[in-house]
Amino acid sequence: QKLKSVTGEEMTANIHRLILLNKLTDELDLETAQVLLKTDLKKVPDIENAALSVDQLNRAIQQAGRFEDRVRQIEMVAEALSFFFALSKLPMIRLVLAPIKVAASMVGALELVGTMEAGYNISKNIKDMKPFTEAFVEREKELLASLASV
């Protein structure tokens, strides 16, 4: 409610979706990391400096599973990109972000503001985000489908 009173209902809903995306991403990353620690990285002496190939990562994603959640994650990322794009086109967006920072700090989501600012900075010079998001979703879903079918 605090957040909604400062940012408005639509912005609050988008921020909530970003929080859910962040939570889902953390869960999927943790499960993938756990697979890697049990397999490819099990005997690596210096884990902090270990190298990981794309094939190793894809195998770990495959073994971790949760493909429906991964598809949902892809769709949520595309929604977030569209949100950042729309945000970047708002007049005086810098003024809008200031109360969002305050509201985010009140609900313990200050880290999210950094994500929003990064998304804004990436989006502000793009004229049409749709071709990019469509290509991103298609490519990532194809990759997941290939991992799920093996």
Cβ-based neighbour number of residue 49 at 10 Å? 7
Tell me: the pLDDT tens digits for 53-98? 999 999 999 999 999 999 999 999 999 888 888 877 777 777 777 7
- Non-local CB neighbours of 93 within 8 Å, separated by 6+ positions: 87, 120
Range of the domain at 137: 2-149
Answering whether pTM is above 0.75, one says yes
Give pLDDT tens digits for 29-62: 999 999 999 998 888 888 888 889 999 999 999 9
Is 50 exceeded by the pLDDT of residue 14? yes
105 burial type by CB count under 10 A (0-12 exposed, 13-18 middle, 19+ buried): exposed
As for how many domains the chain has, the answer is 1
